[in-house]
Each structure stands twice: as C-alpha cells, then as structure tokens.
Chains A and B, each alone.
Chain A
C-alpha cells in the first residue's frame, strides 16, 4: 500500500483581497516526485511556504508523514527539506559554513554534522570549492549549495521552489541531475517550476495550478493525452501545397493547417485512432511529393494553454 508522504487539504491563503491559494488539495506518495506547474503568480510559492511551515494557512491542513504542520510543527518540519526560490544563504560564509549552519538548525552536530555536510557537498558536486566564500561562487553554484542546504539533515520530503530560476543551462542540467539522483534514491520530492520540460523530466506526477487551484492532475503523458486523444504530425511537401492541404482535409476526422512561417509544412491533427499518418500519406499520393514527416508530441505547455487560455510564461 502506498503511503502518503505529504498531504494538503483545502489550503486557503488570502493577502487582503487577493485570494492567493483557493482550497488547494493534493497528495504525494512516499518516493514520488510531484510537480506543481503554473505561471508566476499562480500560487505555487505560497503553497510551498505553507507546506514547509513558513506560512500559516488561513484554513486547510498540511500533513507530513501523518504529522499535521499546524499541530506538530517541529515534528513535521524535521521531515522536510526546503529549497526556496531565492538563494537564501549567507554570502560572507563559505559553502561548508552555510551547510553547517543549516545542519545545526536541524539539530545535527559533531561527527554526524561533518559527515552529512561532506555528503551533500558531493551530491551537488562542490566538495572542492566548499571552503570558499559563497559570494565568490557563480549563480549556478550558489543554487547548488542552496539545494544542499535543504538536504543536509536527510529530509524524507524535499520541497524545491523553482530551483533553476536564472541559472545557465549547464548549471541547470547539474541541478536537475542532482534532483533525479535524489528521486532515484527514494526521496519524496515536491517540485515547482514554470518550465514544463523540467517538470516533465523530473516528476512522476504533475498538478497544474492556476489562480491558486489545481485544475488538472496526473502523469505527464496522461495530461497530454487529454489535450489530443488522437495524434499530430508535421508533413513537409514539395509541389502544390494548397491542393495537398485540401486532399488531407478531405479525410474524415483529420484537420490540417499550413504553418505560417514555413509555407510548405502541413500541420495535421486527428482526433481518433492511434496513427492516421498512413492515411495522410496515401491521400497525398499523386497530389504532392512528401519530403519529410514527423510525429508531434503535445507538451504540458499546450495542456496549460488549453486548460487556462494563457501561457505558462505570461
């Protein structure tokens, strides 16, 4: 039986007249990576801060491995590692000193503290720079120490709030690899981002959040399947593009458009059947020469656009 590592029920948070989180509910099972995907201002960070106990919800409950955050905050917090969106570390201390500080906040000391600091420095690949001041690190390195600080006490649930914002692609990849290793090692992860490719890469399950509510939830492929139960393909033709379009559009259950920026490219969508591409190619036979075909996979970005009418990066 799957055990719930994190449960949120009916979370509500208001800032004056602004309803930031509106009855939010989700749960994450032990060892699962759950992604909260939503644009800026959708309520992700507010939700995260209520989950880690920094912010007190107006109503609703957060439970970590059965410990209710409002009633037993110390027990619940001990099980959670928090990686905030900003690099919340002392720039005038070294990487190691920062990790020691956060380790001590969680009650580590002595040999265990030294061992854990060394281990998490290895996890984020910064053991060789550990004794340099944080202020001298690159932005990406600082973000890696930021993650290490959330890991130092060996939390059962790791909560990462947009951990890759503002970092270069190389550092971003290093961060994602670290998170993937943690997930593979059995750590429960709650991950927020407005980069759908990150959530797709790291998370087993995704909750799409908009205006403080979860509007869709499931495995990434399940969510994408809701957008188009059939399939999509790009077909590049040589010859009469208009005639080719008309021939394909004549197929039942198939729609076609010509790409704005590439006039010889047909975008073909079908709503039924696993694969209608052979039918499309047959319809084009004798009308136009087919140069290239490619199946197109819908993205979570499109799922979000479909569900909310706005883009993730609006």
Chain B
C-alpha cells in the first residue's frame, strides 16, 4: 500500500468522523457553548483578570474630603486598579470573595497630616503583599512630597514654584518580575480559560469515544478490515480523528478567550506544543474508552464524571496553589495537573517553564495511546 493511498484512507476516515461529530448537536453544545459559559461565569466570579500583566484591584474607602490628590496618586500607579467602595463592610466583603486583592481606608483629614490608614488584606496572599508594597510606595512618595511642599513654603517658595518642582519629580515604581520556578496565583479568565481548556478537551474526548464504540459495535471497524488497507492505517485513522477533534476543542478555547477576553496564553509555539501534548493524552483516553465501553451511551456517560474528578485533582476547578501539598502531589498523578502547570507557566516563563510538564504529558500520551490501541484492536477483532 503506497503512502499516498494510506493518506487517502486516513483522510476518508477523518472526514467521516468529523462529519459525524458535526451532526451531534449535544456534542456540539458541550464543545462550543458550555466551555465558554463556564469560562465567563467563573472568570468573572474570580475577578475577570485576563493575564498576569493585570493591575491588582485595590479597594479605597474615602471617608471625607481632602483625599482627592492621594486617590489620584493611587490611580496613576501602573500596577493598581483603584475601585471606590462605599464602606468598610463592603470593602471586607469584596476582599473576602476575591474581587478585590486588598483595601485601604482614607479617613477624614488624610491630606492634612499624619493619620493612621487602615489597610485590609487576606492573610498569606501573595498578591495582597504586592499591593501592600505598592500602597506603601505611593503613601511614602505622597508623604515626602507633602513634607517637601510644607518645607518649601516655610522657606519662601511660592506654591507655583513648588508645583513646578513636584511636576518634574518622576515617581519610582517597582517592576515586579516573577523568577522562573516561582509560582503565582492566577485568577479570573487567566485561570478559567486554561482550566476549562483542559477540562473540556478531556471530557469531550472521552465523550466522543461514544461514536468510536458505535463504530466498533456496529461492525464498521471490522468491515473496514476487509478493505485493501493495512490494519494500522485504520487504527491510525481512528486515532487521528479523535486527535483532530480534541485539538479543535482546545484551539477554540485558546482563540476565543484570547480574542474576547484578552487572555494572555504566552508564546504561540509553546501553547501549541502544550495543547498538542495534552490532546495526545485525551486521544489515548478516548481510544481506551472506545475499546472498553460496551455501548456508545456507556462511553458518553463515563466521560464527564471521570473528567470532572481528574479536573478537580488537577487544578481545573480551583488552583492547585491553594490545596494542601499532599493533594497537589496526588493531582500530579494525572495529566490535568501537568497541563495546568504548563499552561499557567507559559505566559510568565515561556516555553522554558513548561518543558517538564510537556515532557510528562507526552510520555503519558504515548503510553495511554499505545495501550488503548492494543485494547481497541483486540476489541474490534473480538466483536462477532
């Protein structure tokens, strides 16, 4: 059998399977609609950040007049987004639910002299620590300038001269960089987009195994063996079909979330590599389910629960950074955790930061696909 003939058969198999998938309306809902509904809802609930370059949200409660200039200093800080909040109770609530990283109360007379400013943050939060440093920097500069202004007045400088000097003074902002190997907590769309890519690519791959079971159960695979085609070409066609479907699902999430929500995925080549490796694992699982399940309904029913459990362990439901080390280690028995590690590392550390997870995913993918191919082939030959 020539290489061209093999490619012709492969393309026939892939075309037939894609056409079948395209006609499965429930399957399309799970692939095209549901992932984005979850990304939007959960992403907004987690703050709606689109990437790691996002400004950290600082809540300000302004209790009296005279703090306008200080509020303006906070607003011009490149790493802070200032959100005016009505009162302390509301400030605490928003910090508690995660929509604000930290909060500051500006009491009456804050512009007149030394006062104590209550600062609210969640204990142990790395992002809140960054905000606190930035708040200290803004307050320090504000206090220094106010002091300099008072001193200049005492020395006889006019307010216009003081303003001129102040205007020439550039603020100094810290530029926070993440050191390779360090972990940071991503929230909002920056977290839910990769989480749902992993979750739905896996679940839908397992679910489309239903069509594979039907192909086997109806005797189509067996009948195809009567064609002048090497058996491995037929198997490769089934694998490739599932791989293309998984890849389409993953790339759909990447493209849509990048375009609509501005999610920063990192270097495209790196994203493609990670996605390709994870799709290989998902395809292997699809073939495994396709070889083991007795009916298409069985396969379709197996996908979501397995996918959700592995998603929970792998950090697709909540970041692994917030779970105990034992659970985090347990999660890394499965591919989801490695895929999340890779996807979360890409925007910060590029492909270098994702190489280990990618290697693990590729190894898992090759192993699962090899086992599943063996089982699927056996199940096709066994069916009578």
**A105–B9 CB distance below 8 A:** yes
Cβ-closest chain B residue relative to A72:
B228
Contact of A104 among B12, B211, B222 (CB under 8 A): B12
Q: A84-B219, A88-B220, A92-B23 are in contact. Are A101 and B226 (CB under 8 A)?
A: no
User: Is B12 in contact with A88, judged by CB distance below 8 angstroms?
Assistant: no
Q: Does B5 contact A (CB under 8 A)?
A: yes
Instruction: Indicate whether A107 sits within 8 Å of B220 (C-beta atoms), given known contacts A90-B16, A97-B16, A97-B19.
Output: no
Closest A residue to B1 by CB, please name it: A74
Q: A274: shortest Cβ distance to chain B, in Å?
A: 47
Does A305 belong to the interface (CB within 8 Å)? no
| Interface magnitude class on chain A | 20 to 34
Cβ of B125 to closest chain A Cβ, rounded Å = 51
A82 and B12 contact, CB distance less than 8 A: no
Chain B residues whose C-beta falls within 8 Å of the C-beta of A104 in the assembled complex: 8-9, 11-12
Would you give the shortest CB distance from B211 to chain A, in whole angstroms?
8
B218-A88 in contact (CB<8A): yes
Interface mask (A92-126 → B, CB under 8 Å = 1, otherwise 0): 11000100111011110100000000000000000
Asked whether, in the complex, the Cβ of A89 is within 8 Å of the Cβ of B222, the reply is no
Q: Is the CB of B226 within 8 A of A77?
A: yes
Contact with B along A172-202 (1 / 0, CB 8 A): 0000000000000000000000000000000
What is the total of A-B residue contacts with beta carbons within 8 Å? 73
Q: Does A47 contact B (CB under 8 A)?
A: no
A84 with B23: CB separation less than 8 A: no
Do residues A77 and B227 form an inter-chain contact, with CB atoms below 8 A? yes
Give the distance in Å from the alpha carbon of A97 to the alpha carbon of B16 in the complex: 8
Q: Which residues of chain B are within 8 angstroms of A92 by Cβ–Cβ distance?
A: 20, 23-24, 211
List residues of A (46-90) whose CB comes within 8 Å of B's CBs: 52-55, 73-75, 77-78, 80, 82, 84, 86-90
| Residue A42 lies at the interface, judged by CB distance under 8 Å to chain B | no
Give Cα distance in the complex from A22 to B181, angstroms: 67
Contact across chains for B384 and A102 when beta carbons are under 8 A apart: no
- Bound complex: CA A75 to CA B227 (Å): 10
Give residues of chain A (286-313) contacting chain B, Cβ–Cβ below 8 Å.
none
Contact between B227 and A105, CB atoms less than 8 A apart: yes
Q: Is B224 an interface residue (CB 8 A)?
A: yes
What's the Cα separation between A97 and B23 when bound, in Å?
13
Q: Cβ of B9 and Cβ of A53 under 8 Å apart?
A: no
- In the assembled complex, the CB of B1 is this many whole angstroms from the nearest CB of chain A, namely 6
Decide if B223 is an interface residue (CB 8 Å cutoff): yes
Q: Which residue of B8, B215, B220, B227 has the most chain A CB atoms within 10 A of its CB atom?
A: B227
Closest Cβ of chain A to B25, distance in Å, is: 11
Partner of B226, one of A52, A75, A109, A133: A52
Closest 4 CB pairs of A and B: A104-B12, A88-B219, A105-B227, A88-B223
